[in-house]
Every structure is written in C-alpha cells, then in structure tokens.
C-alpha cells in the first residue's frame, strides 16, 4: 500500500499530497474571497503541505495564506521560496541570489506569514551569476539564527544538488516533473537515494500530446479523471514524491485530493509508465 505520509528532513511529517498556492488570485474582490475559501478547504480536506513563494505576487500570496489560515492548524506546513526579485533594469523579475536579497525576502516572509520560523525554505532558483556558497551560506546563517528550520532547492540538476549538499543539508527539491515530462528522473533518483523530498511542480501534464489519449482511457476504466490518474501515478512512482497540484477552484481541489485514494492496478501502471517515451 502506498504510504500517505513523508517526513521531510526525517522529522517533519506531512501528507504526501499537498497544495500549490501559486494560482490563487490575491487582488481584492470576489476572486480573492474564493482564494481564501480554497485555502481553507484544502486544510479541511487534510492537506498539511502548502507551497508558496515570494515570486507569487511579491509576497501577496504569502499574505493571502496567512489571512486564510492563521492561526495555523497543528501540523500544517507552509513552505515558501526566495531568490527571485524585481531587480531587473526596468524593475522586472529576475534571479537574484544576493545574500542581502535572500535575507530580506526571508524577513518579509516571516512577517507576512506571521511566524517566527520558516520550517521549510527553498531557494527558488540558483542564481548563476553568484557563487552557490554565497547563496546557500546566508540561508545556513538564518538557519543558525532560528529563522529557518530546513532548507530545500528548486529546479536543480544532479550536479547542483551534489554541490549544494556539500554546503547545507538539503531536505527537499522542487523540480518540474509529471507523467509525461520526466526530464528530471535522475534528480528524483538522487533524492530517493538520499531520502530527500521531491516536490514536482506542474504535476499534472497538460493534455496536449497523443499520449494523453492513453491517460484518458485509463481514467475512464477506473472511473477517475485525467488529473487524478496523473497524481496517483506520482504517488505510486516514488515514496519521496510530494505532489503539490494547484487550483483556484474548490471542485478541482476536491477532485485532486481524491487522487490520494485512487488505486492504480499493475496493468494500468505498466501502461502509464511507458507514456513519457511516446510524449
């Protein structure tokens, strides 16, 4: 039976099927009210891992989650990401791993999320213009200061993960990955070997390839949806995978969460496992 729990860093227990908050509208109005309701419904359904980032509205997404969920339920982990800032020539978003920027974004996240410590903080992207040791060094400093509990990475290669692990204890990796997009399979394998949580972003492949016809067929045979099959496959594929599907609709949220209870028989798994080669 597929385990429903994973302990990030060996001690931070979460339900493996989480929620990505990126798609939640944050502007005032009816859409924001729906966003608040979606976040609250996620927790009601048993979600204990919610992913956000400074990039999502320049912190507006973090503020939304705090408005919806503070004071937080016991065991609820809201993880955020830093390292992208409006520091381009015209104020556009760009990778920015300068230590002072990372420190400022962490302090902002603490204030917006109304917490004294970020139990899991991820570097949104490695800034190629700066030494990796400088970027991870400041995160390690804030960990020592008690502002950060655990540190993860996002969109990294096996080589970058290896380099980072010489500087910090990496407990999570957030890379693009789904049933039809398995470019980062080597990174997943490395995470499995080290017991590192792997949070696939874009966990449900867009229905744009011929291979999706097979997913639709499997879904029809099991009385499920395309998204449920894709998420259930991820949960079955590796015990370190923690999918974080995002949506701004309660019905889609409930549909996604039901994937945790979908059983994929071996024959169906075999059919799905070959799809990335055809995509």
**Which of the residues are catalytic?**
56
Nearest CA to 226 out of 178, 277, 266 is that of: 178
| DSSP state, residue 262 | -
Determine the 3-state secondary structure of 117 from DSSP.
coil
CA distances from 186 to 142, 158, 226 (A): 30, 7, 25
Distance CA 241, CA 119 (A): 19
Q: Compute the C-alpha angle 60/61/63, nearest 5°.
A: 65
Phi, then psi, of 189 in degrees rounded to 5? -60, -40
131 C-beta neighbours (distance < 10 Å), count: 10
222's CB contacts (< 8 A; 6+ apart) are: 229, 262, 264, 268
Q: Structure tokens of 112?
A: 């917006």
């Amino acid at each position: 039976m597929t385990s429903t729990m994973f302990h990030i860093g060996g001690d931070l227990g979460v339900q493996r099927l989480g929620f990505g908050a990126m798609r939640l509208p944050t502007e005032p109005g009816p859409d924001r009210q729906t966003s608040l309701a979606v976040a609250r419904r996620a927790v009601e359904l048993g979600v204990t891992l919610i992913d956000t980032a400074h990039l999502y509205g320049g912190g507006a997404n973090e503020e939304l989650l705090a408005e919806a969920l503070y004071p937080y339920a016991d065991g609820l982990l809201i993880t955020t990401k830093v390292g992208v800032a409006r520091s381009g020539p015209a104020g556009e978003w760009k990778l920015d791993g300068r230590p002072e920027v990372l420190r400022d974004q962490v302090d902002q996240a603490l204030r917006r999320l109304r917490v004294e410590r970020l139990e899991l903080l991820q570097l949104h992207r490695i800034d190629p213009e700066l030494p990796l040791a400088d970027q991870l060094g400041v995160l390690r400093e804030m960990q020592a200061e008690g502002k950060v509990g655990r540190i993860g990475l996002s969109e990294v290669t096996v080589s970058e993960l290896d380099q980072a692990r010489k500087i910090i204890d990496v407990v999570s990796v957030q890379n693009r990955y789904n049933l039809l997009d398995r470019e980062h399979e080597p990174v997943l394998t490395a995470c499995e070997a080290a017991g590192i949580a792997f949070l696939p972003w874009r966990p449900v492949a867009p229905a744009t390839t011929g291979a999706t016809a097979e997913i639709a067929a499997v879904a029809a045979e099991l009385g499920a949806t395309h998204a449920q099959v894709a998420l259930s496959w991820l949960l079955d594929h590796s015990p370190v995978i923690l999918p974080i599907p995002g949506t701004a609709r309660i019905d889609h949220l409930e549909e996604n969460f039901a994937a945790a209870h979908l059983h994929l028989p071996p024959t169906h798994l075999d059919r799905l496992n070959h799809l990335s080669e055809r995509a």
